[in-house]
Structure 1
Amino acid sequence: MSESSAGHREPSRSLTLLDATMVGMGAMIGAGIFVLTGLAAETAGPAAILAFALNGIVTGFTALSYAELASSIPKNGGGYAYVNEVFSDILSFLMGWMLWFAYMIAGALYALGFGSNFIEFFHIYDITLPGGHTVYALAVVVTFVVLNAVSASASGGAETVVTVVKIIILVVFSAFGASAASAEEFTPFLTEGGTAVLSAMGLTFIAFEGYDLIATVTEEVKNPRKNIPRAIFISLGATLIIYMVVVFVAIGTLGAERLGAQGETGIAVAAGSFMPEFPLIGGGESVIAFGAVFSTISALNAVILASSRVAFSMGREGQLIKKVGQLHHRYGTPFWAIVASSAVMLLSVVFIPIQQVGNLTSLFFLVSFVLVNASVIRLRRERPDMSRPYEMPFYPLPPILGIVLNLVLAFFIDPETWLLGGAWLLFGVFVYWLLQTPRVTVDRLRQGVNR
């Protein structure tokens, strides 16, 4: 743990390149690949694999912007920190307000997903657990909040272990399925037309949200100017490869029509068709169910990390209450930021209509990605001589494409979600005014005394 010149504790650089990479992969390889593959096949047929590939490309443009900004501005908070560096206070506040909300709601979604998958996993073995899925959702949030509050290195290590486990599960699935998959299942390819591919892209885009979380823990990563860009590219590239292989095996073994008919259980049904029985665990469906449980755990831990770091950065910049921007005197973690973020997650699990509000996460991520790409352009123009250990190739094409493509995807989000998003941002403006008014008043009083 280090000390700043002002005597305040600074985040300890305890996370390695592997830990940072696992934060991104842990968030991306969540329950999405397990439940969305069948739904994508139902929408686009064999071309579902193209939807995943195109989403990887679209995401890659913004990833280039994140990598350059992370190497230039090595601060916690990710997209919020970058927008705060180059845009007005109110715009940076709204950026942080969006990201904080999106990560917290995503955490509630992952927690509920864990609760459901945990119960269903035991149902496979004819074991009925007491209580409903909400009880287990609350329990897992509390468990990982305590872990994050006590030690950043412990939470990072846990993320690495859990993510490695689910990667192994997907590799085993792919290894057994590779010989069983048939390329003939991909002909004809565009059975549902090109428009269906765009629809499938919108459906599966959320599966690529997660590499941006790496940038929220920048100050806790060793040698961040080099390791954060590396972690972003490694996590996104490895995740895309895993997705492509898994989708190929799923379609190649079941066929797009049958896979689509299975919907959210498509991957599990595909695994059951070619995987052998394993000791203790059971057949392929049991293995995939086990993987889904681990996926929601790692995704939840990643967004607890991310949401608390965004809140911590906002508090440190004076855009939330001061306490949120301080590190715990004993643990050296953003304790109060973690508590505040987890409180919202817990309330969301119990009270908020997750299915409706959860749609806002994709919208807010898309809007935040637009602002991150715009930040790269503005920073290049206003500070051309700034130190940039990593500079993206073919500038300014990647950030321009990132802005355009993210806006196109946002355009396909339903109007009701846009209205809800607008309402949340208006509430954010009110909170900003409420928090800033006392500070402005104090500054004016000080100026009067000095005169």
Structure 2
Amino acid sequence: MVGIGAMIGAGIFVLTGLAVEISGPAAIVVFALNGGVTTFTALSYAELAAAIPRNGGGYAYVREVFSAPVSFVMGWTRWFTYMIAGSLYALGFASNFVEFGHLYGFTLPGPPVLYALGAVVTLVALNALSTEASGRGETAITLVKIAILGVFVVFGLTATKVGEFDPLFTEGPLAVLPAMGLTFIAFQGYDLIATVTEEVENPRVNIPRAILLSVLTTVVVYLLVVFVAIGTLGADGLAGAGETAIAEAAEGFMPTFPLIGTGAALIAFGAVFSTISALNAVVIGSSRVAFAMGRERQLPASLGRFHHRYGTPLVAILVSAVVMLVAVVVVPIRIVGNLASLFSLLGFIIVNYALIRLRRRQPDLQRPFEVPYYPITPVLGIVCNALLGLFIDPFTWALAIGWLIFGGVVYFLLSRRGDIGPTESPEIQDPEPIPTAEQGDD
């Protein structure tokens, strides 16, 4: 549910119309191809998670096979990506929450940013007190939004016209590539599963299983939603609707529901749940990356400790929350959203290469799950992610280089002060049990 909750965020609601505007009815191909690209890297994550059952996700894997500076860059960028994504989801929640009120004739007091800040604070408190509670909350919220999209699909299939997909490539086959770059952010999130490895029972089996099931479920849901949206409203109608395309499509064929109201109101309700579950997922993920870096002495050691009573990485959660709250208020979201996408693509390239390097360095390592068709699969992951990265604008690349330079300065200054220092990565083994509240009380 962490993986599905992070992947099915606001992206499917706001990006479908924009993708159709670029590629026409071939947007269904765009989502299918992005699902394939995502699967290549998800398979690499699954194998690495089974072989290296540690918190931190991609950072933990890179730390195992690369030098300290390279692993710091990976952790620094992933931490940044998750925190910035959190600010995006928080603001997305606020705008959808305010719009949901408008549908019922209510004008909520105060600016939307206050609701964004409130959402971050609430979920941070939940995560700080209990990993189990935040996981249960994620499950409940994610099930609600899947149910809402399921209702959209069930009603929409009866009204879908297959003729809306003919011709398929109205904008030309090459228009698929920029549309893939635009919508790729909607396929990110499964990697968050690997950041909580040490807080899961039997992680060598359950983490790979969760990664692959979350990707499969999300891709199926996306393809059904896009198929219904194009087949009911048509490519031209979706393109004209832009960010409200799914809501407008729902308005055309969905009935009025008791208590909720029109189809558009139901979709707005789903968007609220989607953004809040995605926000909860990145609160979990960002803190676990900071925790892993603190434990490896690549950030201050205080970040790398579990709280003796709550059994959560409390300091890492609070530090990540502070950055997230600042980003909600001051960061230009549209620019940094592109930056987060670029860092994700670069991170996925490194993870695929880490798989190849680990296979060569430790061929006898226990691997409960192995990537099929190795090395073709990780190589395709590298090539496809690199290709999508080429469609990120030069200004975003310049910002990315600037952030990396800033990270290098931070690493150097902390090293000079003795707050951090390179350490040898420990032998791969099953994680230590996490302290529970009962153990802490004793």
TM norm structure 1: 0.92
Rounded Cα–Cα distance in structure 2 between residues aligned with 1:125 and 1:157: 29
Query: How does 1:211-360 map onto structure 2 within 5 Å?
Result: 211-360=190-339
2:181 is the counterpart of 1:202: yes
The aligned length equals 422
CA positional deviation for 1:322 = 1.1
Residue 369 of structure 2 aligns with an amino acid whose one-letter code is Y
Rounded Cα–Cα distance in structure 2 between residues aligned with 1:290 and 1:246: 16
Which consecutive residues of structure 1, in runs of 5 or more, have no partner in the other structure? Answer: 1-21, 444-451
1:169 corresponds in structure 2 to 148
CA positional deviation for 1:439 = 3.6
1:10 corresponds in structure 2 to none
Contact 2:260 2:266 in 1 (8 A): yes
2:4 is the counterpart of 1:25: yes
1:19 corresponds in structure 2 to none
1:172-216 residue CA offsets vs partner (Å, 9 max, x unmatched)? 000000010011110011000012111110111001001111000
1:264-313 residue CA offsets vs partner (Å, 9 max, x unmatched)? 00000000101111111001000000000000000000000000000000
Aligned with 1:141 (options 120, 143, 168): 120
Query: How does 1:63-142 map onto structure 2 within 5 Å?
Result: 63-142=42-121
CA positional deviation for 1:319 = 0.6
CA positional deviation for 1:442 = 9.6
Rounded Cα–Cα distance in structure 2 between residues aligned with 1:440 and 1:423: 23
Which consecutive residues of structure 2, in runs of 5 or more, have no partner in the other structure? Answer: 423-442
Rounded Cα–Cα distance in structure 2 between residues aligned with 1:358 and 1:191: 29
Rounded Cα–Cα distance in structure 2 between residues aligned with 1:391 and 1:202: 28
Aligned with 2:416 (options 437, 440, 444): 437
CA positional deviation for 1:330 = 1.4
Rounded Cα–Cα distance in structure 2 between residues aligned with 1:225 and 1:436: 34
2:382 is the counterpart of 1:380: no
Rounded Cα–Cα distance in structure 1 between residues aligned with 2:362 and 2:417: 33
CA positional deviation for 1:359 = 1.2
Residue 37 of structure 2 aligns with an amino acid whose one-letter code is V
Query: How does 1:37-48 map onto structure 2 within 5 Å?
Result: 37-48=16-27
CA positional deviation for 1:108 = 0.2
Contact 2:134 2:280 in 1 (8 A): yes
Rounded Cα–Cα distance in structure 2 between residues aligned with 1:236 and 1:358: 21
1:49 corresponds in structure 2 to 28
Q: Identity of counterpart residues, as a percentage?
A: 65
2:434 corresponds in structure 1 to none
Rounded Cα–Cα distance in structure 2 between residues aligned with 1:441 and 1:266: 49
Contact 2:349 2:385 in 1 (8 A): yes
Rounded Cα–Cα distance in structure 1 between residues aligned with 2:83 and 2:50: 26
Contact 2:298 2:421 in 1 (8 A): no
Contact 2:306 2:312 in 1 (8 A): yes
Rounded Cα–Cα distance in structure 1 between residues aligned with 2:24 and 2:391: 20
CA positional deviation for 1:441 = 11
2:421 is the counterpart of 1:419: no
1:449 corresponds in structure 2 to none
1:328-364 residue CA offsets vs partner (Å, 9 max, x unmatched)? 1211100000000000000001111122122110000
2:368 corresponds in structure 1 to 389
- Closer, same or farther in 2 for the Cα pair 1:278/1:67, shift >3 Å? same
Q: Which 10-residue stretch deviates more, 30-39 or 428-437?
A: 428-437
Rounded Cα–Cα distance in structure 2 between residues aligned with 1:79 and 1:245: 30
1:101-145 residue CA offsets vs partner (Å, 9 max, x unmatched)? 000000000000011000000000111000111000000000000
Residue 153 of structure 2 aligns with an amino acid whose one-letter code is S
Rounded Cα–Cα distance in structure 2 between residues aligned with 1:183 and 1:380: 46
Residue 428 of structure 1 aligns with an amino acid whose one-letter code is G
2:135 corresponds in structure 1 to 156
1:17 corresponds in structure 2 to none
1:16-63 residue CA offsets vs partner (Å, 9 max, x unmatched)? xxxxxx000000000000111111111111100000000000111101
TM norm structure 2: 0.94
Rounded Cα–Cα distance in structure 1 between residues aligned with 2:419 and 2:365: 31
Residue 395 of structure 1 aligns with an amino acid whose one-letter code is Y
Aligned with 1:35 (options 14, 29, 42): 14
CA positional deviation for 1:438 = 3.6
CA positional deviation for 1:437 = 2.5
3-state SS of 1:118 partner: helix
3-state SS of 1:358 partner: helix
Rounded Cα–Cα distance in structure 1 between residues aligned with 2:392 and 2:274: 26
1:354-410 residue CA offsets vs partner (Å, 9 max, x unmatched)? 221221100000000010001000000010000000011110001111111111111
1:16 corresponds in structure 2 to none
2:384 corresponds in structure 1 to 405
CA positional deviation for 1:435 = 1.8
Runs of 4+ residues over 3 Å off in structure 1: 438-443
1:206-255 residue CA offsets vs partner (Å, 9 max, x unmatched)? 01001111000111111110111110110000100000000000000011
Contact 2:297 2:420 in 1 (8 A): no
CA positional deviation for 1:78 = 0.2
Rounded Cα–Cα distance in structure 2 between residues aligned with 1:362 and 1:105: 10
